[in-house]
A and B are shown apart, each in its own frame.
Chain A
Amino acid sequence: MQRRLSTFAVCLLAGTAAAQGALIPHTLADIPANETATTTKQEFLATRVAGVDLSRSVKRVVTELEWHKRLSTAQIEAQKTGKPILWLQLLGDLDGYA
């Protein structure tokens, strides 16, 4: 019963949030969190890539994919293949130079 009531409360809250303009009502109670997730995040944020590892990673991205530099040419290929376009916009160059 208690669980049913709390589910009802969340729905009510979500409905009210939607009425206030949030198309995806999301309340504090809905945000999933756990300690493992936080630890994993902290470990990831400590990541540093430099030297040979960095060169290899950059080389893979730049050479193993056929990057278009114009949206018009990417569109022609997309129309031929039926694939969607992944279009990346960067302050700087694809190889990391900014």
Chain B
Amino acid sequence: MLRTDFVVGWKNIRREDYVGYSCGYDRRQTAVATTNGAGPRNTQIFVLSPDLVVLHALPGFWHPDDLARELRFAKRIAKLWEDQGKSVETKTRMYRRMHRREVYTQSPETYARSTWQNFDAHFERHRGQSERRDTFLRDANGEPVTEANGTWRMKPINVLVHERMSRRPFVAWDDFDLDAFVDYGTLHYDNNRGVDRRHREFRGQERLKKQRERATR
């Protein structure tokens, strides 16, 4: 699908303001699997139209099956955007409906792979004490749903991503608020740590992280 249906490109975002923090690895070190949407500030996958409108975006890593489904979804959004016979208002309405339908038709496997990393959930629950977050499931009164142990229940990442995208219909690439879109979980993400026991620290990233922490205090 990537070869036939997309033009592909990539960029190293090491120097961008929104990037997270990790440790450094070389090419031969072990690759590990993780959950959908993990490491949102360190990896982002965008699908853009030829006129550079953001059709879909996925923060973090995604399981191959889920990625393939999301890319098929993005192709349907691309078709909608290209449709000359519909007004922008109609397209926006359809766009939101498509996101909603997508969330309600994804498989139990996708939902299982879209649970939160414990450290990210912990960080979010902490943030949720002092600010309104869109990362929790809420009941009819808008109160967070609680787990059996009393902690707030996290919204599955697949739902969170579609919900955030549904609020950003056909946004131009230059206007896309990436900082807010990838804002969930911790800044630091490093699932390889302890696998190979070989990594190097990013001193620049460490400094950046400390600066941001000071700024948000």
> Could you list which residues of chain A lie within 8 angstroms of chain B, going by C-beta atoms?
12-13, 16-17, 20-24, 26-28, 30-34, 36-38, 40-41, 44-51, 54-55, 57-58, 64-71, 73-75, 77-79, 81-98
CA distance A26 to B166 in the complex (A): 14
The segment out of B13-21, B83-91, B119-127, B209-217 that lies at the interface is B13-21
Chain B residues near A (Cβ < 8 Å): 2-3, 5-14, 16, 19-20, 22-35, 41-52, 55, 63, 71, 74-75, 78, 96, 99-100, 103-104, 106-109, 111-113, 115, 134, 137-142, 145, 153, 155-156, 159, 162-163, 166-167, 173, 195
Q: Within the complex, what minimum Cβ distance (angstroms) separates B206 from chain A? A: 13
Question: Most chain-B Cβ atoms within 10 A of its Cβ — which of A34, A74, A91, A97?
Answer: A91
Interchain Cβ contacts within 8 Å, total number: 221
B residues near A44, Cβ cutoff 8 Å:
33, 63, 113
Q: How far, in Å, is A26 (CB) from chain B's closest CB?
A: 5
Residues of A near B99 (CB, < 8 A) are 23-24
B9-A91 in contact (CB<8A): no
Docked CA distance A47–B31 (Å): 8
Nearest A-chain residue to B99, judged by Cβ? A24
Across the interface, B156 reaches (CB within 8 A) one of A31, A48, A50, namely: A31
